[in-house]
Amino acid sequence: MRHLFSLFSLLTLCALAHAHNGLPTLVLQNKVSGPYKVTLWADPHVGQGNLSVVLTPTGQTPPDQAPDKVEVAVQPTSKRLDEKIYPAKLKFKFQRQYPYYYAEVPFDKVDSWDVRVLLHNQQKVDVVTAQMGTKADNLNPWFLPLYALPFAVIGLIWIRAARKKTGSPTEI
Amino acid sequence: MSSPTAPNPEFDLLRVPVIGRFLSWRRARLVLQIPLFAIAFLMVAQGLTGSQLSPKNLATVLTWVHYRGALIVVLMVAGNFFCLGCPFVMVRDVARRFVKPKHNWPQRLQNKWLALGLFVLVLFCYELFDLWGSPLWTAVLILAYFVGALIIDTRFKHATFCKFVCPIGQFNFVASTLSPLEVKVRDLDVCSSCKTKDCIKSRQETTSTSSDIVFVQRGCELALFQPLKVGNLDCTFCLDCVHACPHENVGILARTPASELWNDQRRSGVGQLSKRNDFAALSAIFTFGALLNAFGMVSPVYAVETWLSRVLGITSETPILGLIFVLALVVEPMLLLGGAALATRQFTRTRGSLLTITTTFAPTLIPLGCGMWLAHYTFHLLTGLWTFIPVFQYAFQQWGMPILGAPNWSFGGIPVMLVKPLEWGFLALGVLGSLLVAHNIAKREHPTKTTVAFLPWAILSLILWFCALWLLSQPMEMRATLLSS
């Protein structure tokens, strides 16, 4: 019972977890910063967006040596808001060796944003900068009937056609 | 040769200008197979020798993002045209010019059980070895299909690989029961007066120089005799029957999707659906496999794996994944289908065995399964629609021929917010189809107690539909995109 409860809790909590929801956008690729090549991907949705930092060693670093801490800092390019810094957490999947650093970043509106990736390593901080745009995530509710219409029409035609076919086999 | 049959009020794709003329051409299949073979060749070449970063490799991107999505879309809007253009069959046709098969496929294997096992094996390997993230193993899988088709069909006669072995073929056969098009006789009266039966026996002619008989057009290799063929099951849309018929009496006709699922008429090459336990199992695996395949991509699966790992004290993924597969593809279907069958027996007060009732009603699951596969794979296809462009650019650049320019990795696809509502629509049509099939089977089997016979299967369909909705509401892993690798 205890095990089942823990499974239920895990599933419930997981449902709240945000993975990359859609094809991420490439913001910058293989920019060398200190001992790493930095690639930055974004799901730049207004509301809850996220940034993923993929680090590959430039050759001077052994592959298993990770930075002490990774952060991302975002600020509208217009400077209408102060810069905010968010921690990026190392993500692993079960038994699978695909690590990357993942940060959830709230964006308030569609805008152009300056992004800084901060790689903390032995009291030294390497910084990579980039620029990206955010996009609206939600479909206008008025579009939903438009979406539903063709499915409703197909469904009705299907029901009509199925009712005509009584199910009795055609004799040959 | 008699004249073509009288005009038929039904839509017939072969009578559509250009498309119909092309498909009626004897070389149409080859023309479709050659580009698919060329693409498969490039995929294997880059999978084996190119970058092992899956989102940059043709093998992984084209297989797991584009091919799967395009396959199910074409099946749902038209028919089994991917089997028509299958490059595996092209290779075996070439090989058969040199090696003539002499054996018949063993009687005890003339069913779907082997193919069903292979279908589950492919699903299992896909999850265990993260095939979407491995260009090398994806290329090996494609090669395995080619080699499998070659070995089996050069040893065994007819379309043995397609009918009894190929896992993709079985997927297509089941999904094509919902296709709006069917290869079908235009006028049964013409068939009843036909003396040659070339559609099944093949067309033979005597040469002008000798009395030798030459096969000029093969008949159906899947043992589907056109006048007695019902629906799309086991039909590869190869159009051999179209070319063989001396009366031009076979077309690609419109029909009501899924109507063949409540038709229990004995069908040529297939038999009666309600007596095919293997087909019932295939229907169940097709549908529960759709749910499991999506479950493998959402974050709760990692939670379940971690939980099982802790409870069982196992750190290897293989037994844990195996256990999840057994639960999802054996235990869960047995409980749910068995429960529905038991309820039907109780409500209708009949005496049939649970297995018989389950086999009879199993086709109910197929529309929902199709809805789930369609929702899932079109999500990947549409959100990654244009990713093939930079991947092709990158491949040619790697081969020292940058004829397509430098890869432009900013090509993505349609925004998720536009794709998500389509997923709900596909699932809604899927559950509607399942309810229609269940109702019509219930009406056929229990004309006086239709509602009570229908009820358990309607509830089962709704339960599975809610599961599918929950799965698709989860954040889904973007396979074959950079973050997966």
pLDDT tens, position by position, B310-333: 888 888 888 999 999 999 999 999
**Total structural domains within chain A:** 2
Q: Is residue A40 part of a domain?
A: yes
Separation CA B185–CA B355 (nearest Å): 34
Q: Which tokens is B171 given?
A: 């997927």
Is 70 exceeded by the pLDDT of residue B481?
no
Report yes or no: A110 at the B interface, CB cutoff 8 Å. no
Spatial separation of the C-alpha atoms in residues A162 and B445, rounded to whole Å: 17
CA distance B88 to chain A (A): 32
What confidence tier does A94 reach under pLDDT thresholds 50, 70, 90? very low
pLDDT score recorded for residue B316: 83
Pair (A6, A31) in one structural domain = no
Taking the Cβ of residue A100 and every Cβ of chain B, the question of whether any pair is shorter than 8 Å is answered with: yes
Residues A87 and A162 in one domain: no
In chain A, residues with a C-beta closer than 8 Å to the C-beta of B481 are 20, 23-24
A43 and A6, same domain (yes or no): no
Query: Per residue in B12-29, pLDDT tens?
Result: 999 999 999 999 999 999
Whether chain A has a CB inside 8 Å of the CB on B422: the answer is yes
Alpha helices in B156-227 (DSSP H): 160, 167-175, 188-192, 198-201
Per-residue confidence (pLDDT) for residue A24, from 0 to 100 = 65
Contacts of range B470-473, beta carbons closer than 8 Å, 24 or more positions apart? B471/B291, B471/B294, B471/B295, B471/B298, B472/B294, B472/B375, B472/B376, B472/B379, B472/B423, B472/B424, B472/B427, B473/A15
For residue B416, what is the nearest residue in chain A, using CA coordinates? A22
A11 & A71 share domain: no
> ipTM for the complex?
0.87
Helix (H/G/I), strand (E/B), else coil: B102: coil
pLDDT the model gives residue B468: 94
Poorest-pLDDT segment among B224-233, B258-267, B399-408, B429-438 = B399-408
Instruction: Note whether A12 and A27 are same-domain residues.
Output: no
Chain B residues with CB inside 8 Å of A53's CB? none
In chain B, DSSP finds a helix count (H) and a strand count (E) of: 22, 4
Average pLDDT over residues B366-378: 96
Mean pLDDT of B391-400: 92
Tell whether A63 is within 8 A of chain B (Cβ). no
Contacts of B309 in chain A (CB under 8 A): 94
A77-91, A126-140, B211-225, B275-289, range with greatest mean pLDDT: B275-289
CA distance B25 to chain A (A): 29
The minimum CA-CA distance between A7 and chain B, rounded to whole Å, is: 6
From B301, B299, B229, B298, select the one nearest B269 (Cα to Cα).
Answer: B229
* Domain ranges, residue A37: 23-133
Do B376 and B426 touch, CB atoms closer than 8 A? Answer: no
pLDDT over 70 (residue B112)? yes
The answer on pLDDT for B9 being more than 50 is yes
Question: Which residues 32-71 of B are in CB contact (within 8 Å) with A?
Answer: none
Min Cα separation A68/chain B (Å): 21
Does A148 fall in a domain? yes
Beta-bridge mates of residue A55: A38
Residues A105 and A30 in one domain: yes
Residues 251-280 of B with CB under 8 A from A: 256-259, 262-265
3-class SS of residue A166: coil
CATH code, A54? 2.60.40.2480
**Residue in B closest to A26 by C-alpha:** B410
Query: Could you tell me which residue, A8 or B79, shows the higher pLDDT?
Result: B79
Is B409 touching A (CB cutoff 8 A)?
yes
| Most confidently modeled range among A35-49, B327-341, B413-427 | B327-341
Backbone angles phi, psi at A114, to 5 degrees: -90, 135
Q: Please tell me the predicted confidence (pLDDT) of residue B224.
A: 95
Instruction: Flag whether A171 is in a domain.
Output: no
* Strand residues in chain A grouped as ranges (E): 25-33, 36-43, 47-57, 69-76, 84-93, 96-107, 112-121, 124-133
A-proximal residues of B, 282-301, CB under 8 Å: 298-300
Give me the residue from A20, A139, A167 closest to B440, CB to CB.
Answer: A167
- Based on the fold, state whether residues A77 and A158 are members of the same structural domain: no
Nearest CA in chain B to A148: B425
CB proximity A21 to B under 8 Å? yes
Model confidence band, residue B482 (pLDDT cutoffs 50, 70, 90): very low
Q: Do B302 and A93 touch (CB under 8 A)?
A: yes
The pLDDT > 90 percentage for chain B reads: 76
How many Å separate Cα B262 from the centre of its chain? 19
Note the pLDDT tens digit of each residue in B179-210: 999 999 999 999 999 999 999 998 877 766 66
Q: Are residues A8 and A49 in the same domain?
A: no
pTM for the complete prediction? 0.83
Per-residue pLDDT at B467: 94
Distance of residue B300 Cα from the nearest chain A Cα, in angstroms: 5
Phi-psi region of B45 (alpha: psi -120 to 50; beta: other; left: phi over 0): alpha
A144:B421 CB<8 A:
yes
Query: Residue A22 is nearest to which of B263, B300, B383, comparing CB atoms?
Result: B383
The verdict on A76 and A155 lying in the same domain is no
Query: What pLDDT is recorded for position B2?
Result: 40
Search chain B and give the residue with CA nearest A135. B415
CA distance B133 to B52: 8
Q: Is the pLDDT of residue B258 over 90?
A: yes
Residue A13 banded pLDDT, cuts 50, 70, 90:
very low
Kindly state whether residue A172 falls inside one of the protein's structural domains.
no
- Least Cα distance to B483 among B51, B59, B53, B57 occurs for B53
Percent of chain A with pLDDT over 70: 71
Inter-residue contact B261 to B363 (CB < 8 Å): yes
The answer to whether the CB of B395 falls within 8 A of the CB of B41 is no
**Averaged pLDDT score across all residues of chain B:** 91
Query: For B423-472, how does the pLDDT look when each residue is reduced to its tens digit (9 = 90+)?
Result: 999 999 999 999 999 999 999 999 999 999 999 999 999 999 999 998 88
What does the pLDDT average to over B206-234? 84
Whether residue B484 is predicted with pLDDT greater than 50 in this model: the reply is: no
Task: Measure the CA–CA gap between B274 and B230, rounded to whole angstroms.
Answer: 14
DSSP letter for B142, please. H
What's the pLDDT tens digit per position in A129-172? 999 888 776 677 788 888 899 999 999 999 999 988 654 444 33
> Do A29 and A8 belong to one domain?
no
Q: Which residue of B has its CA nearest to A159?
A: B436
In a domain, A66, yes or no: yes
Q: What residues in A contact B249, CB-CB < 8 Å?
A: none
Distance, in Å, from the CA atom of B321 to the CA atom of B437, rounded to the nearest integer, reads 33
Q: Is residue A46 part of a domain?
A: yes
Same domain? A76 vs A9: no
Residues A146 and A98 in one domain: no
